[in-house]
Each structure stands twice: as structure tokens, then as C-alpha cells.
Amino acid sequence: MYGLFLDKKCNATGACSKCQANCCKSYLIALTSFDLRRIYKKTNSLDFFTTINADNFDTCLAQSFILFEKDAPKEYFLVLSRKKNGSCIFLGKDNLCAIYNERPIVCRIYPFRYRNEKILYKDKIKCPAEWEITPKIKEEFLKAHKMQLEELKSFGARCREWNANHSKTGNLELFLKFILQQPKNKKTNI
């Protein structure tokens, strides 16, 4: 994920070079509409994601949306698909991310969290590395964190609009169209 710092020749560097991409083999990756569009633009396909019922997935790093089934509202998240062995669909045999430049926002901030204006090394369970928050990590994290807040806010507003006005008559296909038509993030042009 974030920690899979790649150099210009796409080699894992630093702490991640000693790990077998545990993060990409351990977690379900929630997507925002911007993640979806970034990856779609790169792969020209929408075969990389699936939905998961919110009863089975708890995250504050994405936004749920409602689809009606037999007149009952059900809450879902968009997540990256996984291979049969449980690893992320984009994890290569070399343990590197095949869409590194377009990877989802949650992958960009992993394994850190931002609390009280401090960057904390959060996930010591799956991530075996000894991280030191260097100026480079700090800079990249803060950039990704800011992008995450902006995109989550915008995607959240779009989901609320869908839930209020379209969910009763909509389906997943229409929801995807609805979020793919969302106005672009002016800074990233996605």
C-alpha cells in the first residue's frame, strides 16, 4: 500500500523492501468515486471492483451508498476485488502494485493515521516494518491525507444525493453512471 514506496525503476524501497506486501494481502480496500475513475482511466475496465454489504464491512475511510432490494434499502461499499488467495487484484507476483500511480487513496496513507496534527504509525499488526516518519514520508502523507479529505467529502455528498433522490429507483449500474459523471476534482483533474 502506501508503504510500498517505489523508486523510479519500480523497486520497493525502504521498510517495504523487506516485507512480502502483507498489507495488500490482508485488507479489503474501500474505494471512492475518484479511486474508481483513476483506476478506470488507467485500465479502461470496470472489472476490478465489487460491492460489499455495510453489515460486513466497517470503515471510516469510504462512503456507503444505498441500493434497494425488494423494496428494502441496503447499504453498500465499493471495494477492490480480491484474488482467490485473498490478495488484492492488483498485487503482482513480484509483490508490487500494478497500478501504483493510480492506487486507491487508502493505500496512499497506509500504515499511518493523522491525529491531533501528528502522523502516527498505526498498523503494527499487519505491517512489520519499523517506520521512521522522515520528511519525505511526512510530505507524501500530508499530500495524500489532504486529497483523501477532499475526495471523501465530495464522494460523500454525491452518495447522499444518490441516496435521497435516486436510490429507490436505481440499481448498481445507474449508481456507477451517477458517480462517474460526478464533477472532476479540480486539483487532480479526475
State the nearest-atom distance from the C-beta of 176 to ligand SF4, in Å: 19
179 binds ligand SF4 (CB under 6 A): no
* Residue 69 near residue 63 (C-beta atoms within 8 A): no
The one among 111, 167, 179, 190 contacting ligand SF4 by CB under 6 A: 111
The site for ligand SF4, by CB under 6 A, has a size of 26
In the complex, least distance from residue 125 CB atom to ligand SF4, rounded to whole angstroms: 10
Whether the upstream peptide bond of residue 183 has omega within 30° of 0, thus cis, is: no
The closest of 187, 109, 113, 115 to 154, measured between CA atoms, is 187
Q: Assess 24 for contact with ligand SF4 (CB under 6 A).
A: yes
Record the cell numbers describing residue 117, joined without a space.
Answer: 496534527
Could you say which of 67, 79, 97, 105 contacts ligand SF4 (CB under 6 A)? 97
Cα–Cα distance measured from residue 59 to residue 69, given in angstroms and rounded to the nearest whole number: 23
Residue 21 interacts with ligand SF4 (CB under 6 A): yes or no: yes
